Structure 1
Amino acid sequence: MHADDQVGEGVPTELAVFLRGAVDGRHPVKIAPSVCEGCGGHVFIVLVNASGAERECSGCGSRAFIADSEEFWDEESWEDDEPGAAGCPCGGEEFEAAVAFSLGDDGLVRWVTVGLRCVKDGFCGIYSDWKIDYGPTDHLLTMV
């Protein structure tokens, strides 16, 4: 981990370390866990493409977009990048999720990186990663 990194409570250690390694060279980062607002659950089925992610709580079925994904979550913007269900090499489809927000020198979010940890076998992977080129961006930090 970088000295300036911030890791939110509830992020699985393995996933935090994996995310930090995946965004190496981008710092500082804020890593936040995905938590269902409906039931407080931490396990999700996740739809992803290159520029966004939507999660569905395995406990209560509540759905939420990650960061600004909803703005680009329509057929017109998908063209060759239609979202699909995230899957683990083991066949698992339920994940703990966390997001690494890479910050620029100005403190604005510049990259959103979605990391998932399979609840079946613990495999960690980056399932979506996109650049943010606007401001302000503080609202993104709560949209995990």
Structure 2
Amino acid sequence: MHAGDQVDEGVPAELAAFLRNAFLRNGVDGCLVKIVPSVCGGCGGRVFSVLVDDVEGGAERVCAGCGSRAFIADSEEFWEDADPGEACCPCGSEEFETAVAFSLTGDGSVRWVTVGLRCQKDGAVGVYADWKIDYGPTDHLLTMV
């Protein structure tokens, strides 16, 4: 992890490390990263099924506990044109802990959104969607996980 990175409480350590390393693999080094867990606003649940559009980028999560739906970051703005599919672990499970990593510029603006999932069945972690943010201001995105 980068010295200035922020990982909020509730993000599994292996998922946080995987998300940070995803930025390094994609050549986005030197950026600060904020990693936030997804928590259902309805029931406080932390396990979700997730619809992702891995072509354009975007994700919507559905709480396994209460069925509440929420878009991640600015996904709703582009969802009408999206072609989402259900995220699925290679083991076949479709239930995940979800965390979102935000790559930040020097002034704190969000430049990349990366959705990481940790399978509830076998613990496998992966990046299921990511997309670039090319507008501002972006502060509101940090709470939309």
User: What's the TM-score bracket when you normalise by the shorter of the two chains?
Assistant: over 0.9
Write the distance in 1 (CA, Å) between the matches of 2:49 and 2:68: 11
Paired position in structure 2 for 1:48: 52
SS of aligned partner of 2:19: helix
Task: Give 1:105 shift.
Answer: 2.0
Write the distance in 1 (CA, Å) between the matches of 2:117 and 2:105: 24
State the TM-score, normalizing by the size of structure 2: 0.94
Q: Deviations over 1:78-118 (max 9, x none)?
A: 3xxx1000000000100000000000122100000000000
Task: Give 1:65 shift.
Answer: 0.1
Paired position in structure 2 for 1:116: 117
SS of aligned partner of 1:20: helix
- Aligned pair 1:105/2:109, yes or no? no
Q: Where do 1:1-144 residues align within 5 Å?
A: 1-24=1-24, 25=29, 27-50=31-54, 51-74=57-80, 77-78=81-82, 82-144=83-145
Which has the higher mean CA deviation after the structures are superposed, 57-66 or 21-30? Answer: 21-30
Structure 2 residue runs of 5 or longer lacking an equivalent are none
State the TM-score, normalizing by the size of structure 1: 0.94
Write the distance in 1 (CA, Å) between the matches of 2:30 and 2:91: 30
Write the distance in 2 (CA, Å) between the matches of 1:26 and 1:119: 31
How many residues align structurally?
139
Q: Deviations over 1:10-50 (max 9, x none)?
A: 00111001101111215200000000000000000000012
User: What is the identity percentage for the equivalent residue pairs of Structure 1 and Structure 2?
Assistant: 74
Tell me which amino acid in the other structure corresponds to 2:71: F
Tell me which amino acid in the other structure corresponds to 1:53: A
Output the aligned Cα RMSD. Answer: 0.8
SS of aligned partner of 1:67: coil
Write the distance in 2 (CA, Å) between the matches of 1:106 and 1:17: 23
